[in-house]
Structure 1
């Protein structure tokens, strides 16, 4: 290409580039030299501003029935380019895309941009914008049309659905349904959509395309915590048990101070409203001089809605207690339990702002296979408050009470002990409670609180300082709050923040090392 042709191309491309930024009357000249490079001199001139915006709607949305006028008004009010603003082609394209997206997100799945114009008055540096959105007809949903199922039961997808035949099209509801299915362990991938044919809008089938995940998994794990020592675990899961889409999770967990064998079976949800499960567990532990052996069988119904998890459980439990230096005992308990849990945090694994609130109530009656009448109440709140960039202030409070004439015959799960990582640091795990012989056993009352400041000096490393306080006792008057304070390190691992803390227990006058997960949900 000769230099004169290159010069013409340079002028043209420079003018086109300036026009995208709103400069429609630039002066571009070249200073030519017989030898050496030529110089391009650009005077962009005055930047054009938006003079007017004309947004029109055709199709069903242009009607006056129902909420259509209010919706048109809201769409125009949300338009981002207003008269007086500088014109940029990228902003103009983005604004049109956002408007079309807002129209097509609800009711009008086949909406399209039927016309758009940016009329430029280069001399006056003004741009008049106009566009027309054709909403097309409104869509309503029909039945599910599922493809890709091989081994899973045919009704499994429908059990997760909250979509109703005949309801108005709403893209967010389809995406929510898709996300719910994607989170189900039976599916490797999920796509939920409809056909956007403007001639077929009534009862449009909802297409659900799935691919099945590997149903069976075997896992091996190992770990360590200062609470229960070294740990090894063997787990087995089958998310299509008996070809019914039931989920089996089972495992054998061997810790130095506690051993657990468990199996839980979760049934598919019932029209996404609730989920039932059945579980059995055998556990042995030797903590603070108290040797426990328990066998439990439970039935549960769980619901999750608007960020709140609720669960009802009926549980039968046989327990044998062997405290050092005191007589052993046995108990059988049939209990009904309720849990309410709300998590309003920015990140479940690494929260920086928000709160967690948990409430529990449960108990048994002598008339229904329990040793005595009792009611256990428990509440916990954790607050995460961001401070100075990535730093976080964490405040925690716990209260528990078991209402009963005495603790005799009540399983340890319905009483309270505290101390250790994630509770009152500076004291051994579950060492704060009621002395029985040479052992520490659970009491009927518990109170604990903590304040912690975490400073992230790198993206994945932080230091923390904390003060913990708490105790468990068999009466409110016997509660003697124990203080623990110290400092530690935090590492943002893929599984969540890990904590290594050194804490001083004021009541014992000793230092303890604590290792565990820094977030307890």
Structure 2
């Protein structure tokens, strides 16, 4: 009898094990998900549904899964409603034998944006010009949204933009009194309605400056171009803040106003700055295939003669190039121009040409929005020695203008946008120069996303120095090419004019580059490129060359690392280009 009972128990245990669902076979509970949904909804559901978040949780249990399945259709419908799918149907089932969750989604028809209405009240009603301007902007914004898809983010953005538009000028205390998005389930249409109270019109009051202990107050006061009693403008405050933040004297700057709740509606300006120490030392180590190993040391003093003048000293030592520079930069005044005086020396031993270039000059630069204008007046003298024998000592007294436009989504790591640079400069033989010449140069870089992750970078440069002969012209007013940042596959500065066994600068330059980058892992990007161009004595003798290859880019925590393996088609040679810098 006992034996029969034992056999029955074993039989029951075996049958129970055979019939148990798949999740009982292991101690760690796992389940799969099969989602049947249009692409418009897939990413949203995968990102936000809890069933995906808990899929890898070790402590998740079958009981919790059943509970989540019962709540999933409602949760998914709420998510889809934020994208305008108010009639979506969601089914969720579980196959216990395979521990697989099946989710099926029918989106239905998406709701579109219909009419938009913004009603203004408050003091702005008595300001017909400003009132009309705002209503025109609201109308244009509504026209752009009408007949487009509705989503919660679009509705939130509409409210935010409308309020910020009113607050941007004259009415910083404007508030949103009422807002509603009326959904018509029959017409599948959403109507936007806003009621905004402008509040009173404000004017700027006096400015107070806080946080100064090292530098003179006039350093900041000269930057404040907002007249007391002028109409409130958010852009004027933003411009002042950006101007102060760009100054080397301050780590941070914050500009805001205090809004009184009762008349007179005069808003005092409050400027808060955080100063940096008087002195700063910087150093860096690096390597590039252009000039080999390098080290650099820099010193900056922010308050020369107690006037807020900035002194900079810099020494750079590389195997093929050495440089030293000292300069004094004067703070920008009411004209928004920054002035600088400097002196420098540059020694190079490249492609059979040993040169020492000495410069001194004065410059002025103005930066406004995405445009930078630079003017420089400088005197330079050079010592050139050729491997094949012979020496030259040209001198130039030059005037130069550089116009630069940067329209980039991110100045440090651009993915979209462009950079355009145009230069014009020259010298007259009658004024401290050995030759008369005019140099024109232009360069452009274009960045564009390709697909979700790819990036295209196109570059082109062209230049010409107009003169009867290159004799008597210092080297940096002529052109050489080759190496990283130019035509890869060829040695640095190796493309130019052959003279006395050396490669010297020519009077014409033309280069172009096409590069495609694609992310590989984390901060690494693979690159494929083709470069074309060169430098020559004139356009008739210019012999452009081609380089192509593969590379890698790494945005490391200590700086950017670039590596390229390039093939110089015309010289049938392979060159490795590498650049790395470490700041400390």
TM-score, length of structure 2 as denominator length: 0.73
Query: Partners of 1:109 and 1:154 in 2: how far apart?
Result: 28
Q: Does 1:182 align with 2:245?
A: yes
State whether residues 260 and 282 of structure 1, in contact with CA within 8 Å, keep that contact through their aligned partners in structure 2: yes
TM-aligned CA deviation for residue 486 of structure 1? 1.4
State whether residues 351 and 503 of structure 2, in contact with CA within 8 Å, keep that contact through their aligned partners in structure 1: yes
Aligned twin of 1:60: 123
Instruction: Go from structure 1 to structure 2 and tell me whether the alpha carbon gap of 1:54 and 1:447 turns closer, same or farther (over 3 Å shift).
Output: closer
Q: Any residues of structure 2 matched to 1:35-114 within 5 Å, and which?
A: 56-63=119-126, 65-72=128-135, 74-75=137-138, 99-113=162-176
Q: Deviations over 1:449-475 (max 9, x none)?
A: 122222222341122122212221212
Q: Does 1:280 align with 2:343?
A: yes
Counterpart selection for 1:443 from 502, 506, 521: 506
Q: Does 1:141 align with 2:198?
A: no
Aligned twin of 2:357: 294
Aligned twin of 2:440: 377
Query: Partners of 2:512 and 2:147 in 1: how far apart?
Result: 56
Q: Does 1:431 align with 2:494?
A: yes
Query: Partners of 1:396 and 1:86 in 2: how far apart?
Result: 38
Q: Does 1:492 align with 2:555?
A: yes
Q: Any residues of structure 2 matched to 1:336-415 within 5 Å, and which?
A: 336-415=399-478
Q: Deviations over 1:153-195 (max 9, x none)?
A: 2121133334333332122321232122123221123221111
Aligned twin of 2:233: 170
TM-aligned CA deviation for residue 77 of structure 1? 7.1
Query: Partners of 1:86 and 1:483 in 2: how far apart?
Result: 48
Query: Partners of 1:51 and 1:424 in 2: how far apart?
Result: 54
Aligned twin of 1:154: 217
Q: Does 1:271 align with 2:340?
A: no
Instruction: Go from structure 1 to structure 2 and tell me whether the alpha carbon gap of 1:458 and 1:146 turns closer, same or farther (over 3 Å shift).
Output: same
State whether residues 137 and 201 of structure 1, in contact with CA within 8 Å, keep that contact through their aligned partners in structure 2: no
Aligned twin of 1:309: 372
Q: What runs of 5+ residues in structure 2 fail to find an aligned partner?
A: 1-73, 83-111, 184-189
TM-aligned CA deviation for residue 64 of structure 1? 5.5
Q: Does 1:421 align with 2:454?
A: no
TM-aligned CA deviation for residue 72 of structure 1? 4.2
Q: Between 420-429 and 452-461, report the one with greater CA deviation.
A: 452-461
Q: Does 1:199 align with 2:265?
A: no
State whether residues 350 and 497 of structure 1, in contact with CA within 8 Å, keep that contact through their aligned partners in structure 2: no
Q: Between 399-408 and 504-513, report the one with greater CA deviation.
A: 504-513
Aligned twin of 2:541: 478
TM-aligned CA deviation for residue 87 of structure 1? 12
Aligned twin of 2:187: none
Q: Deviations over 1:375-399 (max 9, x none)?
A: 1111111222322222122222111
Query: Partners of 1:234 and 1:460 in 2: how far apart?
Result: 28
State whether residues 159 and 272 of structure 1, in contact with CA within 8 Å, keep that contact through their aligned partners in structure 2: no
Instruction: Go from structure 1 to structure 2 and tell me whether the alpha carbon gap of 1:189 and 1:375 turns closer, same or farther (over 3 Å shift).
Output: same
Q: Between 90-99 and 351-360, report the one with greater CA deviation.
A: 90-99
Q: Deviations over 1:237-258 (max 9, x none)?
A: 1222222222222111110011
Secondary structure at the counterpart of residue 156 of structure 1: helix
State whether residues 161 and 272 of structure 1, in contact with CA within 8 Å, keep that contact through their aligned partners in structure 2: no
TM-aligned CA deviation for residue 288 of structure 1? 0.8
Aligned twin of 1:213: 276
Q: Deviations over 1:35-76 (max 9, x none)?
A: xxxxxxxxxxxxxx9999986543211226323244246447
Q: Between 183-192 and 95-104, report the one with greater CA deviation.
A: 95-104
Instruction: Go from structure 1 to structure 2 and tell me whether the alpha carbon gap of 1:74 and 1:260 turns closer, same or farther (over 3 Å shift).
Output: closer
Q: Any residues of structure 2 matched to 1:238-277 within 5 Å, and which?
A: 238-271=301-334, 273-277=336-340
Q: Between 459-468 and 401-410, report the one with greater CA deviation.
A: 459-468
Q: Between 242-251 and 200-209, report the one with greater CA deviation.
A: 200-209
Counterpart selection for 1:468 from 531, 536, 546: 531
Secondary structure at the counterpart of residue 149 of structure 1: coil
Instruction: Go from structure 1 to structure 2 and tell me whether the alpha carbon gap of 1:325 and 1:146 turns closer, same or farther (over 3 Å shift).
Output: same
State whether residues 378 and 398 of structure 2, in contact with CA within 8 Å, keep that contact through their aligned partners in structure 1: yes
Aligned twin of 2:90: none
Q: CA RMSD in A?
A: 3.7
Q: Does 1:223 align with 2:286?
A: yes
State whether residues 353 and 384 of structure 2, in contact with CA within 8 Å, keep that contact through their aligned partners in structure 1: yes
Instruction: Go from structure 1 to structure 2 and tell me whether the alpha carbon gap of 1:195 and 1:418 turns closer, same or farther (over 3 Å shift).
Output: same
Q: Tell me the number of residue pairs that the alignment of Structure 1 and Structure 2 aligns.
A: 475
Secondary structure at the counterpart of residue 344 of structure 1: strand
Q: Does 1:506 align with 2:580?
A: no
